[in-house]
Amino acid sequence: MVNIHTYQLKPLRFELKEAYGVVRAYPVDQEAFLFCRLTQTKTLTPWAIDEIAGLGYNCIDQRGNLINSSDLC
């Protein structure tokens, strides 16, 4: 059995934008677009950020800062 947390997974890049007082994570790279397609959304929800982190991926903004679900509230 392989432990997925022993491998370094490529970070997913998003651009954070605020619209009407709500911060949203817009995908920047192909892998980030794929996760948005899997969740059937154009941006990731806080729930999706938590689930993706649970798989071992890091969601980062364009400056390299880690995105947490609390950043999208």
Look at residue 54 and tell me if it is in a domain: yes
Range(s) of the domain holding residue 49: 15-72
pTM summary value: 0.81
Neighbours of 7 (CB within 10 A): 8
Structurally, the chain folds into a number of domains equal to 1
Look at residue 47 and tell me if it is in a domain: yes
Q: What are phi and psi of 5, to 5 degrees?
A: -80, -5
Look at residue 8 and tell me if it is in a domain: no
- C-alpha to C-alpha distance for 6 and 53, rounded to whole angstroms: 14
Percent of the chain's residues with pLDDT above 90: 70
pLDDT tens digits, 26-57: 999 999 999 999 999 999 999 999 999 888 89
Neighbours of 53 (CB within 10 A): 16
User: Is the backbone of residue 6 left (phi > 0), alpha (psi -120 to 50) or beta?
Assistant: alpha
Instruction: Kindly indicate the confidence band of residue 6, based on its pLDDT and cuts at 50, 70 and 90.
Output: low
- What is residue 4's predicted lDDT score, i.e. its pLDDT? 55
- State how far the alpha carbon of 54 is from the alpha carbons of 4, 5, 37, 48, 51, in Å: 11, 10, 18, 10, 5
